Amino acid sequence: MTSMATDAGLTNPETGSDRLDWLDELYGRDAVAWVEQQNRTTKELLEDEDYHKDFDELRTALGHADKAPEVTKIDEFVYNFWTDAQHPQGIWRRMPYAEFITKFKCGEACWDVLLDLDALSREDEKEYFWDGVDILPTDRSRAIIHLSDGGADAAQLREWDFVSRAFIGNGFNLDTAISSVTWLDEDALLLTSSHGGARNSTVSGKPRTIRLWRRGQPVDDAEILFSTAHESERVSVERDWSVEQILLYLTETIDGDRRRHYIAQGDFVFKLIDLPQDVRCEFGNDLAAVHLRQDWTTVTGFFSMDTLLVMSIDAHGACICPEVLWEGTGGSALHDFQFINGCICINLIEHLRPLLKLFVQGANGWREGQTPPLVTDGVISVKPLNHFAHEMDSIVVITEESPTLPRRISLSTLDTGEAPLLLRQSRQVYNATDVVIEYHSVYMEGVGPIPYVHIGPARTKGTSMPLYMYGYGGFGGSVLPTYNKILGVLVYQHGWSAVITCLPGDGTNGLRYERAGRKEFKIRAHDAFATVAKDLVERGVTEASKIVAAGASNGGLMAGMMLPRFPDRFTALACELPLTDLRRFQRWMEGQAWVAEYPLSLDDRLKISPCDNMTRATQDAPHVLVFTNRLDDRVHPAHARRYAYLLQEYGHNAMFFEAKSGGHGYGANTLQIAEYFALRNSFYRRALASQDSN
C-alpha cells in the first residue's frame, strides 16, 4: 500500500471548506440518502442464512430473563432496573428486602413495577433509555428520573412522585441536555446542566455552571453558584449525606489531566482544596481518598504518583494528615475505590487479574481488612447494599464474572473474610466447559511488556482457527475478560478464540503504562496492537489470514490505523463508533474535551488520523466494516461517514452501517445490538472466505 497526500484532497485551500462537509449534517437530505443506500447494500451482502442463525441465537442470549440483576436497598425495599426480551427498553421495579433474601434465589420472588419504559416510549412515541435516578434522600417521596431518547448521552429530567406513581407535571422537569442533580431538600436542588446554551455549557457541550434551582422557579432564573471557563471540560457537584450539615464537594474538570476540587457548606461559598490538579478523588465520612496521578510535596512529606492517600479536609480546603493506603507497582492498576461504611474498598487489577483490598480505620490509623474469597480471573465489583451513604452498613453486593463464569451476585459483610452469600447466578448461554483463559505478554521497544489475554476452546496443536482481537488504547480505559455473551455465541461456540489486549494508554496496567500511550505517544498504542497480532502468529497460535479485529471509539481510531500501517497482519477490521479525523475532531461535539489525550502538534495528530492516511487498495488489503450510530452525541457520526466514503473512493472492500439509535453504543435495545453483531460476524466470515479462496 502506498501513502497518499494528507487530507485526501478534501480541503479547499481558499475557503477552508471541504468536499465532504455534506456528510456532517446528521439529517441532511443527501447525507441520509447516502447512509440509507449504504445500509441497504451492507444488509443485502451480509444477511445470509448464517446471519439469521446468529441473530436468533444472540437475540435469545441477550434477552434472556434468567440473569443476575443489579440491586440497591432503600428502606425496606430493593430496587432494580431490568431489561429482557419482553421489556427491551426496561422496567424500574422493587420488592421487599425480606422477600428478596428468602425467595429471590429460587426465582419465586415477585417484583412490583414502578415504571415501564416500553409503555412510556409507546405513549410518548419515543425510544427511552434509562439513564439513572436521583431519589430524595430525606423522605424518599420524590425522585428525578433521567430519560434519554434513543440512548444519547443527553437526557431529559422528569420528577417522579412515589405516592401517585406518576410524573409531576409542574415539578423539577428539564428538556434534553447533559445534566446531573443533587438534592438539597424537597424544594431545592443543585443543577449542573448544559441546558440554556453557551451561558451554561462549555465548548465541548458539557455543563459549566452549578445552579441553585428552587421549586416553582423557571430554570433560567436559577441562581448560578459557580461557573468554569467556556474552554474547560465540565463541572460536577456532590453532597456528603454522611454528615448532618450541608457539605458539598465540587469538581472543576479543566481537561483530561487537570481538575480543581472545592469544598463548601450551606453558605455555598466554594473554597479550593489544596490538592494537585492531576488527581482522582472520592469523598465520604468527612474524608477524602485521593489517587495521585502526579508527584506531590506537602509540609508533611513527599508522595509519589500512582499512590492512594486518605486525609481529612477542613472547611477552608486544607488537607490534614495524608496517609498512604496503596502504592502502584509495575503490572498493578487502581481500577476504582470508594468509601463504604467508614471503610475504603479498593478494586485492583494485578497483571490483568482482579484483586479486592479493604482498609479499615482504627484507633491507630488505617489497617488492611479481611476480604472474602473471590474469582481470580475476570472482573469483580463491590458496592454498598444500602443506596444512601448516611445509611450504609457493612453489607455489600459483590458481582463476579469471567469468560467461564456467568455473572453472579452475592452479599458479603465487610472485614469478616467469610465466603459471600450467593443470591443469583445468570444462566449459562454458551458452553464454557472447554474455554481456557491464558495470560501472555510480548516485549515492545520503548514500552516493555504488552500484556494480553487469550480466551477460547483448548487448541489442538497444529490447527489454525480464526481469532478475534479487540483493543482500546486510551483514556485510561479498561478492557477486561468478562462473560461476554456475544463472544460466547459467535466466537467460542464456533471454535474461534479471542484476544483482549491491554495497550499503552489503557488503565489496566498501572499509571506509567497509561501515560506511555497518550499525547505524543498515542502511536505506541497502535504499534502495540499490531505487535500482539504478530506475536500470535510467531507463537503458532494462528495465521494473519485468520485474524479479524475490532476497536470502538478511541479503539476505532486504532483499528482504522491498522489498514495503512499494518495491512499484512489482519484479514478484517471493524471500526466501530470510531474517531477517524484528527484534523477536524475539535469542531464536533465533545472533541474539544479530548485535546489532552492526543498529540498537541497537528503534524503528530495527522500521523495517527485514518482519514489523513488514506491509501489505495491492493488485492491483499484487509476488508473493513465501519459502524456508527446517528444518535451518537459523543463521537460525531461524521467521523465514520467520512472514513467509509474515502475507503470506498480509494477502492477498498469497505462496508458501512449506521444504526438509527443507541447513542455511543451498538443499539437502543437487545434486538438492535443482536442485529449489528450478527452483521459483523457475517462480515468476518465473508472476509475469511475471500482469503481461503485466494
pLDDT digits (tens, 9 = 90+) for 268-310: 999 999 999 999 999 987 899 999 999 999 988 899 999 999 9
User: What's the pLDDT at 3?
Assistant: 41
User: What's the start-to-end Cα distance of the chain, in Å?
Assistant: 18
pTM score, whole prediction: 0.94
* Ramachandran angles phi, psi of 641, nearest 5°: -60, -50
User: What SS3 string covers 451-503?
Assistant: EEEEEEECCCCCCCCCEEEECCCCCCCCCCCCCCHHHHHHCHHHCCEEEEECC
d(CA 603, CA 599): 9
pLDDT tens track for 527-540: 999 999 999 999 99
Coil, strand or helix at 50:
helix
- The Cα angle at residue 114 between residues 162 and 400, in degrees rounded to 5: 115
- The closest of 534, 459, 472 to 506, measured between CA atoms, is 472
Residues found in the chain: 694
| Cell numbers given for 437 | 483463559
Q: What is the full DSSP assignment across 631-686?
A: T-SSS-THHHHHHHHHHHHTT--EEEEEESS-SSSS-SSHHHHHHHHHHHHHHHHH
**Sign of the Cα pseudo-torsion (28, 31, 37, 42, in order):** negative
| Cell numbers given for 145 | 428520573
User: What's the pLDDT at 21?
Assistant: 93
- Count of C-beta atoms within a 10 Å radius of residue 201: 20
Coil, strand or helix at 413:
strand
Measured between alpha carbons, how far is residue 485 from residues 403, 435, 670, 690 in Å?
Answer: 9, 13, 12, 27
d(CA 487, CA 58): 10
Contact 625, 644 (CB under 8 A): no
Coil, strand or helix at 148:
strand
| Cell numbers given for 148 | 434519554
Contact 377, 362 (CB under 8 A): no
Q: What b-and-e string marks burial along 276-312, b requiring 16 or more CB atoms within 10 Å of the CB?
A: bebbbbbbbbebbbbbbbeebeeeeeebebbbbbbbe
Classify residue 60 as exposed, middle or buried by CB count within 10 Å of its CB (0-12, 13-18, 19+). Answer: middle
User: What's the pLDDT at 462?
Assistant: 55
Contact 356, 347 (CB under 8 A): yes
The rounded average pLDDT for each run of 10 residues, N- to C-terminus, in the chain (694 residues) is 49 64 94 98 97 96 88 94 92 93 74 96 93 94 95 94 95 96 96 92 94 96 96 94 89 94 94 96 91 93 95 92 92 94 94 96 91 95 92 93 96 93 92 94 95 88 82 94 96 95 95 94 97 96 96 97 96 97 86 87 94 90 96 94 97 96 90 96 96 71
Average pLDDT, the chain: 92
d(CA 263, CA 573): 47
Classify residue 507 as exposed, middle or buried by CB count within 10 Å of its CB (0-12, 13-18, 19+). Answer: buried
Contact 648, 654 (CB under 8 A): yes
* Residue 626: strand pairing partners: 575, 656
DSSP letter (8 states) at residue 319:
E
List of E strands, 534-620: 547-552, 572-576
- The Cα angle at residue 432 between residues 428 and 436, in degrees rounded to 5: 150
d(CA 158, CA 92): 14
Q: What b-and-e string marks burial along 388-427, b requiring 16 or more CB atoms within 10 Å of the CB?
A: bbeebeebbbbebbbbbbbbbbbbbebbeeeebeebbbbe
User: Phi/psi zone of residue 158: left (φ > 0), alpha (ψ -120 to 50 degrees), beta?
Assistant: beta
Contact 454, 377 (CB under 8 A): no
* Ramachandran angles phi, psi of 513, nearest 5°: -65, -40
